[in-house]
């Protein structure tokens, strides 16, 4: 039986963030197929230099959140602020949720709300231009703007269907195009290499029909969002831009609470159908979104994280 030989003469660990001399402890690569801006060092000892705290940090980065004035989007804004990121919120609401004021007061970050319409490309482009003027750059995007009409298939008005796809799918597409174009324009910084990260908010409805609800257009629009993340993740991988999605299951928000108060039977479904026997809390989504935006997920793209309490694997009702 052979025994492992201990590794000796490890490279010195730098304190300034620059790659250390590898003394042969790195994997040779063909420069024609690699780009230093989009790939981390291939030094096999790189894990010794960066802590989890460092990897998850968004310090100095600017993240745009569509639909961030309330609901899931606002929770993501808090999550980003908690790890040092600046937040530009894009929303159609005239007035944000009352917790937005807390976000501005409690964190030493830059935070600003922009009233806009994700379905109008020209209006949205002007909004993104304003964000770049105010913040100087865009390092990440979270697309949380969305609507969920509930009406039987044969009664669905074509204008309502078009509106659902315009907000959920085209709004995501337009936002990604505008954010990505800016990411490619700007120079790398000490806290962010060339490129950036996009996180699209999908839904368990992209995979399974919503029990007790007639939301065919919502389900199909979210299926398109999940597919878009996979396609763009592949197409943009060489640019340093990563694209992923997060698909929540039943989540407790102000809107969900109001819905369950009006239709208690729906609350029973949402709490008892998941194998974990509860609805998710917005807290359950904070770390997954931050992870995908940060360097902690530097080798992660074209994926969908299912945060569903297990309902994507099986239902108990």
Question: Over the chain, what HEC string results?
Answer: CCCCCCCCCCCCCCCCCCCCCCCCCECCCCHHHCCCCCCCCCECCHHHCCCHHHHHCCCCCEEEEECCCCHHHHHHHHHHHHCCCEEEEEECCCCCCCHHHHHHHHCCCCEEEEECCCCCHHHHHHHHHHHHHHHCCCCEEEECCCCCCCCCHHHCCHHHHHHHHHHHHHHHHHHHHHHHHHHHHCCCECCECCCEEEEEECCHHHCCCCCCCCCHHHHHHHHHHHHHHHHHHHHCHHHCEEEEEEEECCEECHHHHHHHHHCHHHHHHHHHCCCCCCCEECHHHHHHHHHHHCHHHCCCCCCEEEECCCCCCCCCC
Distance CA 191, CA 86 (A): 13
Tell me which fold the domain 49-251+281-307 belongs to: Rossmann fold (3.40.50)
In tens digits, the chain (317 residues) has pLDDT values of 444 444 444 344 333 334 444 444 544 444 444 443 445 556 888 889 889 999 999 999 999 999 999 999 999 999 999 999 999 999 999 999 999 999 999 999 999 999 999 999 999 999 999 999 999 999 999 999 999 988 999 999 999 999 999 999 999 999 999 999 999 999 887 766 779 999 999 999 999 988 889 999 999 999 999 999 999 999 999 999 999 999 999 999 888 888 888 889 898 999 999 999 999 999 999 999 999 999 999 999 999 999 999 999 888 76
Domain positions in the chain are: 49-251+281-307
């Amino acid at each position: 039986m052979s025994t492992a030989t201990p590794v000796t003469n490890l490279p010195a660990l730098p304190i300034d963030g620059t790659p250390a001399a590898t003394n042969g402890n790195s994997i040779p690569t063909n420069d024609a197929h690699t780009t230093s801006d989009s790939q981390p060092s291939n030094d096999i000892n790189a894990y010794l230099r960066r802590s989890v705290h460092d990897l998850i940090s968004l310090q100095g980065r600017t993240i745009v959140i569509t639909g961030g004035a309330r609901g899931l989007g606002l929770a993501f804004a808090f999550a980003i602020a908690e790890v040092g990121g600046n937040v530009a919120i894009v929303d159609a609401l005239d007035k944000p949720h009352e917790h937005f004021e807390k976000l501005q007061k409690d964190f030493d970050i830059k935070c600003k709300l922009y009233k806009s319409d994700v379905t109008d490309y020209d209006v949205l482009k002007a909004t993104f231009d304003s964000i770049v003027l105010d913040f100087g750059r865009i390092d990440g995007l979270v697309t949380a703007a969305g609507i969920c009409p509930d009406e039987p298939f044969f009664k669905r008005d074509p204008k309502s269907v078009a509106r659902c796809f315009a907000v959920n799918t085209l709004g995501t597409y337009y936002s990604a195009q505008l954010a990505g174009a800016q990411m490619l324009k700007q120079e790398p910084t000490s806290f962010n290499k060339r490129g950036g990260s996009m996180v699209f908010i999908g839904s368990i409805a992209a995979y399974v029909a919503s029990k007790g609800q007639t939301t065919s257009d919502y389900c199909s629009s979210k299926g398109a969002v999940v597919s878009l993340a996979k396609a763009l993740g592949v197409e943009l991988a060489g640019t340093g831009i990563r694209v992923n999605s997060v698909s929540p299951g039943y989540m407790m928000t102000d809107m969900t609470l109001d819905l369950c108060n009006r239709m208690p039977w729906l609350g029973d479904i949402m709490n008892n159908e998941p194998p974990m026997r509860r609805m998710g809390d917005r807290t359950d989504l904070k770390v997954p979104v931050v992870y995908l935006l940060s360097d902690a997920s530097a080798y992660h793209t074209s994926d969908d994280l299912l945060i569903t309490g297990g309902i994507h694997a099986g239902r108990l009702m």
